[in-house]
Each structure stands twice: as C-alpha cells, then as structure tokens.
Structure 1
Amino acid sequence: MTDQLQAAARPGVKAAPLGPVALTTLLFGAFLPMLSFFILNVALPAIGSDLHASSGELQLVVGSYGIANATLLVVGGRLGDGLGRKRLFLIGLTGFTIMSLICAIAPTIGVLLAARVVQGATAAAMTPQVLASISALLTGEQRARAMAMFGVAGGAASALGQILGGVLVEANVFDLGWRSVFLVNVPIGVLAIAAAFRLLPETKADRAQRVDLVGATLLALALVLLLLPLTEGRPLGWPLWTWICLAATIPAVAVLGLHQHRSERSGQDPLIPPTVLRLRAMRIGLLLAVAFFTTFGGFMFVFALATQGEAHMSPLEGGLSLLPMAVGFLITSVYGPRLQARYGAGLILRGWIIQAVGYALLAVVALTLWPHVDPWRLAIPMLVAGFGAGLVMVPLIGVVLSQVPPAQAGLGSGILLTSQQTCLALGAATVGTAYLSLAGSSWGQGKALAAVALTITAISLLMTPITHQLRSRQLPV
C-alpha cells in the first residue's frame, strides 16, 4: 500500500507464479510489523517495572517504532522498486528479526528504545514490498484474493497481538517475562527468511522513482517535534523545551509542504505529492484514517495500563479481555472484502456506528463496575467495538482508492499507509497522555478509561456524515 503499488509488471507480460507457500511468506511482511506494534501493549507494565521506565518512556517504546516506520515506508517502497523487491524484503525481514532479538535482550530502556527505532525502520523496508510484489506477480482474481489476504493478515495481527502478548508474559517461559513478546519474532523471522530466499521471485519497477530523502528527513523532524514533547511533557512537568518543540512543529510542517510543492513542480518525485492530497476522496480518506488510527492506537495503549492497574488483572487476563475484539476483527477481516463489494463506503459508515455503540457500552461498564471488571464483564462491549472497528479498518484504504483516479491510486495508498503508522504512534502519545493525566487525578483509572471510550464514541459519530460524503461520489476505475 505504498506508491510503489502501481502496476509493476509490464503490459502484456504474463505474471510470474506465486505459490501458496511463497504468498504466505510474503504476507509475513504485513503480519509481523503489525503484530510487533500491538503485542507490546500488554507487556508495557512489566517492561516499566523491570527496566525502571517512566510512563513517558513506555509511550516512546510504542511511538518510536511508529515514527520510524511511518517516515520510511515510502522510502522503503521506492528503494524496492529500484533495487529489487525481493532484495529489500529480505533486508527488511533480516533486520527486523535481528532487532527483535536485541529488543528481547535489552538491558536498559535506552537500548530498547534505540532497537525499536531500528526495528520500525526495517519494517518500513519490508512491508511495502508485499503488495508491490503481489501487484507484479499476480493478476485478476488471484491478485484480488491476495490483496484481501493482506488485509486479513494485518487485521489478525492487530487483534491477536495483545492476546498473544498476555499469554507469553503470563506463561513466563524460561523466566523470560516481557522479553518473550519480542523473542517470538525470531524463529518466525528465520523461517520466513529461508522461505523467502528460496521461493520469492525478484521484481523491479519499469521506472524506479527517486527517493525523496529531504522530504523523509523533514517528515521525521516534524513527527519528532510533535510526538516527543507530547509523550515526555506530562511526566516531566511540561518544561520549556516541550513547548518550544510543539511550536516548532508548525514551521517544520510548512517547510515540508513547501519542499513537496517545489519538488513536484520541478518534475521530481516528492514523498507526499500535493496533487494527490488535492483529490477530494483522498482528503476525506485521510481524515477518516487519522480519526480511526489515532483513537485505535491510543485505546490499545491505555486499555493495557487500565486493566493491569486498578483492575488488578494479570497480563493474561488483560489479553483475554481483548479476545472478543479479536473475534470481531477476524470476522470482518474474512468477510470484509465480500461486504465491501456489496456496500462500498456504506460498510465504513455502519462500522463507525457499531464502534460507537461498543465504546459507549465500555464506558458504562467502566463507570458502574470499576475496578471489579474481568474478561467476561468486558466481553460484549469489546466484541461490538471490535466488530465495528473491523468494518472501518479493513475496507478503508480500498474504498478510498476506488474513488481515486487509477493513475494516482498507488501514490494515494502510500499516503494512507503512512498516515496509518503515524497515527498509531500519535494515538499512544495524545490519548495516552490524556488518560495518564486523568488517571493520576481524582478521576482514577476507571473514569479515565470511560472518558477515553466516550471520546472515541463521539469521534466515531462525527465521522459518519464525513463518510457519507465519501460514499456520495464514486469515480470510475
């Protein structure tokens, strides 16, 4: 889902075969990065205790990965176009596996943070090659089925990550504790590397686009200026440097925008093409993506802290509390493509409404039963919220791109995926900071969780008329 996903195979050239095992191996490039993002949340309390990390540092453990990943996704895809997608996939997968091992043995929070940054960067080299290779190697119904499987892999990883994390932390195999949530990637990665080296065909784009390193650097700078003070400001008491960084975000974004306009006017390949952002469907799609992924990433972060805090759940119980949400996600991941063909953007509209109901029910439970909650009492709200979230997340990119001219669909997909990773990190910073501030006051964790849930409810309902605008205009493809 990056700008390199434009049709890669030359017209009239028969696509190379991509067997089931090779496709499964390729899909690990979508599954492992998403798994690594969400499996970590349930282990955060244990990491904080073991490495003596502050709440701000724990937010950075989540956010640093997302910043590096979002900044370099388009860069990784363009490198794959020019150097070979199999080559970049192997480089990214190998680096991701090594960084997972380093995260697992990290002796300090500083080492863990550094490894998470590099892990996010290696994921950015790997993930773009998945759909780019599918586009190059498959055609027709096979390609459509593989694209749907990509969505299933991402949805399954998002939903199952925290459950698996809870099981691993609770099992404490070989006394590894939280370290097992990183170590689990290593054997999977090694097997995937061997299979990819042997089975994946090599492909390249006919015309590789130049890598906009200046744009990537400016984007990284803007993200750091925004997210670093948001995560570190509250525990440090909002010192002067946090306000200076937040103020500097505005000129940094302005310089990035100016550079992108100049690059496009001069015939170069900007990181975020302004002409694509001017498309009505893209603007609406970006707004929906920002609303969904910021709230979703933030909720996943705070839910783990709340359930293992005043609710006194174990990591396993906290993970099992998300099992109904995982079930809802998996159902929509499997049937989402079929429903999307029938309802289009109307599916997303229904998803926002169902999600709003689920989070409203969660707020009621948090306000009336807290802290005496358990996985059973949270089951119905989490199932409804997960089902609604899946109906929004699974079809979002496909529905938006169906309303974008085909020549710009590849660029649009890159922008949407970059916004996804950016907003997951932004959610941990913004929603996490708001929750921690409320939880540390007279509100307590139960009311703070209810406030987060009700905020997501309100945002979900606000997105319904915006989604209807997307639905009202379908461009031919």
Structure 2
Amino acid sequence: MATTNSSPQAAARDPHYKWVALSNTTLGMLAASINGSILLISLPAIFRGIGLKPLEPGNVNILLWSIMGYMVATSVLVVTFGRLGDSLGRARIYNLGFLIFTIAAIALSLMPDNGSFAAWYLITVRILQGIGGAMLMANSTAILTDAFPTEQRGLALGINTIAAIGGSFIGLLIGGLLADIDWRLVFWINVPFGVVGTAWAYWKLKDRAAPRHRPIDWAGNFTFGIGLILILIGITEGIQPYGSHAMAWTSPEVMTLIGVGLALIVAFLVIESRTAFPMFDLALFRIRPFTAGNLASLFAAVGRGGLQFMLIIWLQGIWLPLHGYSFEETPLWAGIFMLPLTLGFLVATPVSGWLSDHHGARPFAVGGMLIGAASFAALMELPPDFNYPVFAFLLFLNGLGSGLFVAPNSTAIMNSVPPAERGQAAGMRATTLNAGQVLSIGIFFSLMIVGLTEQLPASMEAALIAQNVPEAVAHHVASAPAVASLFAAFLGYNPMGELLPPGMLASLPNAAEITGKTFFPHLLAGPFMHGLVFAFSFSMILNLLAAAASWLAGGKYVHEHQVPLHVHGHVPRPAGDAEASIAAR
C-alpha cells in the first residue's frame, strides 16, 4: 500500500485535510479504546468458550493478565512512540500502529478454544495489539493539534476524546451484546474498523511538517520501558493472594518488582537530564500548563478507571441478581444499565471542548472534577439495592463531570508545548491515561479486598451455618481469599456452587437457595458497601486533587503565540522562559 505521508506541503495546502485527520484519528482511537474495555464484560463468555474456569486459584493470574496485558503495553510504549513520531513522522508511526492493531485483531478472531493455551494466546496477542494501540494513542492527538488552528483545537480534541474515553464505556455495552451471541464476535468487531482505518490512513494521512530526525535514546527507552513494566507487573501481582495473606503487597517478589522498577525510573530521569537527544525532554515540565494538566489527567484517570470495575461488581454481583436476572445474563445488562454514564460523557465532551477554545480550560476542567467528586460522594450514600433512577442520575452526573474535564485538559496540554514536541507531549498525556487506569485497578481492587476481608469471612461462615452447612465446611469455605468472591461478582459468576464441595452441596435440602439468585448477593452486599466507601472516598479525593491541579494550570496559554492570551480581562502569568528555550532547540 503506497503511503502519501511524505508530502507535508500538500497537507498544509489542503483546507479539508483537518477533517480527514479528525475522522481517521477518531476511528483509530475508538477502535483502540473499545478494545481496551470490551473484555471486561465479555470475559465470562470467552472463558466458557475456551473451557477455562477463571475462579480456580491457578487461573487468577490468567484472568488478571487477560484484562491488563493490553493496558500495560499501551502504558509503557506511548511516550516512546510519541517521540518516534516527532523524529520519523507522526502519520508514519500512526499508520503502522493501525496496521499492527488490525493484524492482531485478525489473529484474535482466529483464537483456538483449548483451555489455558487459548488464554495465554489471548494475552500474548492482546499485548501485541497494545503495541499498535500505543502507536495510535501516542500520535493521534499530535496529528490533530498539527492539523487544526488554535481556535478549533478544543472542539477537535473533544470529539477525539469522546472516542478515546467514551469508547471505553461503549466497549462495555458492545462486549455484553456480542458475547451474549458468540464470544468470537468480541474480537471480530475490530477487524472491519481496522481494515478500513488502516487503508484510509495510508491513503490520506500526511505529516503537516517535516519530522526532526534525532538519534534514538536507547538508555532512556530501556530504563523507562523496563521500569514501568516492572511496576505495572508488581501492581498486577500485588492484588493476588499470597500465602495466608489476602494480597501479595508484602511478598518479596512484588516488593522487588516495584523497587527495581522505581529505581529504573529514577535512572531514567537522571539519563534524560544529561543526554543531548532525550526520549522525553524533561524541560517540558517547566511549562506549568503542561505539568499541571498531566498531573490532573493522572488523578482523573486513576479515579475514573476504578469506577468501571466497582460499578460492574455492584451491578453483576448484587443489584441485577436481586432483581431477578440470572448470573449468566448479568454482564449484558450491566453494560445496558451503565449507559447513563456514557450519555453524560458524550453530551459534555464536545461542548466543553468548543467552549474551552473561547474561554480557556480552567472553568470546565475544574468544574468537571468538582461535579465528579460530588457524584462519588452521593454514590457512597446509596444502599446496595438502590433505586435505579437515582443511580442512573448519579452515573449521568459522573459522566458529565468527566466529559467537562477531558477535552479542555487535553487542549491545554497540547497547546502549551512547542509544535515540534507535540508527539512526546501526546505520548506523556496518553501515559497518564493508560498507566492511571492500570494503577487504578491495583488501588481499587486492593481497597475493595481490604473491605471484604474485614467482613465477608465472618458473614459467609454464619450464613452457611444457618443453611445447615457443617461448621468445619463453612469455616473452610469462608476462609477462601476474598479476591475469589470479588472476581466472581466481576465476572458474573455465582461462586457458591464452586466453593462448596459438590457432594456436600447435593446433600443439602436447601441447596437451590444457596446457589440461587439472592443468597450470594445478600451475603456480598454489606462487605461490598464497606469496601465501596474506601474506594469511592479515594475517587472523590482524586477528583478534588485533579480540580486543584487544573486550577494551577492557569488561564488560556497557546505556545505559538509566545505570550499569554487575555481571557475575560484576566492575564495569566507566562509559564516562564522555558517555552522560548524549548522552541529554540
């Protein structure tokens, strides 16, 4: 397929090119973000299709890496691919990413169906697909910033952000719908998107400016990549059971992984401060809107990432079974009942992007995070068996807050850096989003496991004894790691049929009640809400911190102008001389 991205002059002369860039990058971000979340809902159907029991102790690692492998790959590589886009051409790296993403989608569609081999095949190919996804995420924002004039960037980035973050919500619904028909459709859905998007990208996308060829910073890439990989692996391993402990945060393996990872990140910072052509120019952090914007983005991503998991567990493990839905059909309906969250996000994002072009990012980014914090505070006050209209309104409010924040935040970050540095700036922004989501999984699952461990074993033992289960058996079942019950709720399983010995279950006169729709949800409800208070309190604090960081980012600043813009009589202070020094490089 012939590329045309070697003609930046033609792209610069084409007045319609910006809409071509917007439509293609939006398609790419939509495919990448849907792919990141679609497995959250469809994993039960996939595991049933390949004949794997995810709740067996030996399969917990497979379960976690099925969810997190794609996220880890994108988190680690987006900064590197952003810098490569600056050096080799943003459209070139983006197009290659679309091609890799599509080939991996086809490979996933042909996945075998034989147990653990199929599961590790899934994990491996999704990590490869994450490499393509990282290329897309790292360069799409920079391509749009190059293509659109300053007064339209907020709208363009708002539309693109709908795909980037809204796709993660939409993926939950699509995953539920397709998995209910055939689990392989979950993978096939990305194939037509990928084929059309790749062909279109190679045909139409071009770089608006000639790339700046630079030597590759091998030491920086190695220390950053390996360091972040070790930290993210440590987080993944940390939420698994360890000996008699509910989690493995104190295990030598996890402590070593995180310790060595942090040491490599420190080494990365030292290397980047001394090399002539760094992988990431640390001088960008001297630009206040860039630093504060990325900090706000990280806080918001950690808070938002955990929300999806908590809502899925709440709906699938408690509310839907209590309202008559079978455990097998809860993944589909969880996606449907979470639609208000998506709707709020879709309503707010393009509007806030357009308004921020004219009034600056601060009022919308700060206001959005304050609304998000209020919604988390209100969600904590709901009972386990909530009134759905109230729940739906709070989800809509949360989505509205996120939508108000993301586009102005993205625009402020990208406007604040020199044009030649937009690839690495977009890569750093994507790192905060993706690494924040992986970090969120570790934090939220840890908080929830702490809450469950405090209350669930005693409640489960008492409830089983009340159902005539022998005390020794009830104690043994209740001593199972709390993470098993948590994952059961997350996957739409009723664990009671697997935790109790089959012979014992068959001998109980009220076995149907124990394995029915209400026994486990009632058992889980109290401990879950106890853990939810920890988790959502943390989200509320993160939203407030994101609001504070957004306020510190200042008023509207566009780097090309080299001076601050006046916004309603307010003249924000320049970020300093860093902009001029960076632009002069």
Give TM class, smaller chain: 0.7 to 0.9
Q: 2:272 aligns with which of 247, 260, 265?
A: 260
Letter in 1 for 2:433: Q
Structure 1 residues 376 and 60, CA gap change in structure 2 (3 angstroms):
farther
The answer to whether the aligner puts 1:329 opposite 2:329 as a matched pair is no
The answer to whether the aligner puts 1:130 opposite 2:140 as a matched pair is yes
Is the CA contact 1:84–1:203 (under 8 Å) kept in the aligned structure 2?
no
Separation in 2, partners of 1:213, 1:374: 55
Following TM superposition, by how much is the alpha carbon of 1:453 offset from its aligned partner in structure 2, in angstroms?
1.8
Match of 1:33 in 2: 32
Letter in 2 for 1:32: A
Separation in 2, partners of 1:13, 1:44: 45
Is the CA contact 1:67–1:422 (under 8 Å) kept in the aligned structure 2?
yes
Match of 1:211 in 2: 216
Structure 1 residues 23 and 226, CA gap change in structure 2 (3 angstroms):
closer
Is the CA contact 1:321–1:376 (under 8 Å) kept in the aligned structure 2?
no
Following TM superposition, by how much is the alpha carbon of 1:197 offset from its aligned partner in structure 2, in angstroms?
3.8
SS in 2 for 1:471: coil
Structure 1 residues 25 and 289, CA gap change in structure 2 (3 angstroms):
closer
Structure 1 residues 83 and 451, CA gap change in structure 2 (3 angstroms):
same
Is the CA contact 1:352–1:463 (under 8 Å) kept in the aligned structure 2?
yes
Q: 2:304 aligns with which of 287, 296, 313?
A: 296
SS in 1 for 2:279: coil
Letter in 1 for 2:261: T
The answer to whether the aligner puts 1:465 opposite 2:548 as a matched pair is yes
Following TM superposition, by how much is the alpha carbon of 1:408 offset from its aligned partner in structure 2, in angstroms?
5.6
Separation in 2, partners of 1:344, 1:338: 10
Q: 2:444 aligns with which of 415, 428, 431?
A: 431
Following TM superposition, by how much is the alpha carbon of 1:210 offset from its aligned partner in structure 2, in angstroms?
3.5
Match of 2:257 in 1: 245
Is the CA contact 1:297–1:428 (under 8 Å) kept in the aligned structure 2?
yes
Structure 1 residues 99 and 373, CA gap change in structure 2 (3 angstroms):
farther
Map 1:47-446 to 2 at 5 A: 47=46, 51-53=52-54, 54-81=59-86, 83-104=88-109, 105=111, 107=113, 108-136=118-146, 139=149, 145-170=155-180, 172=181, 176-177=182-183, 179-201=184-206, 205-237=210-242, 238=248, 239-263=251-275, 267-268=276-277, 270-311=278-319, 312=321, 314-340=330-356, 341-342=358-359, 344-365=361-382, 368=383, 370=384, 372-373=385-386, 376=389, 378-403=391-416, 411-442=424-455, 444-446=527-529
In the TM superposition, what whole-angstrom CA distance separates every residue of 1:30-67 from its partner, at most 9, and x where no partner exists? 21111211222222444456533444543333332222
Structure 1 residues 149 and 462, CA gap change in structure 2 (3 angstroms):
closer
Letter in 2 for 1:216: N
Letter in 1 for 2:53: H
Following TM superposition, by how much is the alpha carbon of 1:419 offset from its aligned partner in structure 2, in angstroms?
1.8
In the TM superposition, what whole-angstrom CA distance separates every residue of 1:298-318 from its partner, at most 9, and x where no partner exists? 222333233222333611221
Following TM superposition, by how much is the alpha carbon of 1:344 offset from its aligned partner in structure 2, in angstroms?
2.5
Separation in 2, partners of 1:466, 1:132: 23
SS in 2 for 1:290: helix
Letter in 1 for 2:169: A
Is the CA contact 1:332–1:394 (under 8 Å) kept in the aligned structure 2?
no
Separation in 2, partners of 1:114, 1:438: 33
Q: How many residue pairs end up in the alignment?
A: 457
Q: CA RMSD in A?
A: 3.1
SS in 1 for 2:239: helix
* TM-score normalized by the length of structure 2: 0.70
Separation in 2, partners of 1:57, 1:140: 46
Is the CA contact 1:16–1:137 (under 8 Å) kept in the aligned structure 2?
no
SS in 2 for 1:309: helix
SS in 2 for 1:205: coil
Match of 1:5 in 2: none
Match of 1:453 in 2: 536
Is the CA contact 1:362–1:450 (under 8 Å) kept in the aligned structure 2?
no
Structure 1 residues 303 and 70, CA gap change in structure 2 (3 angstroms):
same
Is the CA contact 2:34–2:168 (under 8 Å) kept in the aligned structure 1?
yes
Letter in 2 for 1:476: P
Is the CA contact 2:86–2:420 (under 8 Å) kept in the aligned structure 1?
no
Separation in 1, partners of 2:229, 2:414: 29
Is the CA contact 2:220–2:279 (under 8 Å) kept in the aligned structure 1?
yes
Structure 1 residues 451 and 47, CA gap change in structure 2 (3 angstroms):
farther
SS in 1 for 2:312: helix
Following TM superposition, by how much is the alpha carbon of 1:335 offset from its aligned partner in structure 2, in angstroms?
0.5
Separation in 1, partners of 2:96, 2:418: 33
Rg bigger for which structure?
2
Letter in 1 for 2:272: Q
Separation in 2, partners of 1:209, 1:287: 28
Match of 2:487 in 1: none
Separation in 1, partners of 2:235, 2:153: 41
Is the CA contact 1:57–1:232 (under 8 Å) kept in the aligned structure 2?
no
Letter in 1 for 2:355: L
Q: Which sections of structure 1, spanning at least 5 residues, go unmatched?
A: 1-7
Following TM superposition, by how much is the alpha carbon of 1:425 offset from its aligned partner in structure 2, in angstroms?
1.8
Match of 1:4 in 2: none
Is the CA contact 2:97–2:132 (under 8 Å) kept in the aligned structure 1?
yes
Is the CA contact 2:239–2:442 (under 8 Å) kept in the aligned structure 1?
no
Separation in 1, partners of 2:25, 2:544: 37
Separation in 1, partners of 2:89, 2:258: 39
Following TM superposition, by how much is the alpha carbon of 1:441 offset from its aligned partner in structure 2, in angstroms?
4.5
Structure 1 residues 201 and 277, CA gap change in structure 2 (3 angstroms):
closer
Match of 1:476 in 2: 564
Following TM superposition, by how much is the alpha carbon of 1:402 offset from its aligned partner in structure 2, in angstroms?
4.3
Q: Which sections of structure 2, spanning at least 5 residues, go unmatched?
A: 1-6, 243-247, 457-526, 558-562, 566-585
In the TM superposition, what whole-angstrom CA distance separates every residue of 1:330-370 from its partner, at most 9, and x where no partner exists? 011221122323352121111111111211222122xx2x1
Sequence identity, in percent?
24
Separation in 2, partners of 1:331, 1:140: 23
Separation in 2, partners of 1:417, 1:458: 22
SS in 2 for 1:476: coil
Structure 1 residues 373 and 25, CA gap change in structure 2 (3 angstroms):
same
Separation in 2, partners of 1:120, 1:86: 18
Separation in 2, partners of 1:142, 1:296: 27
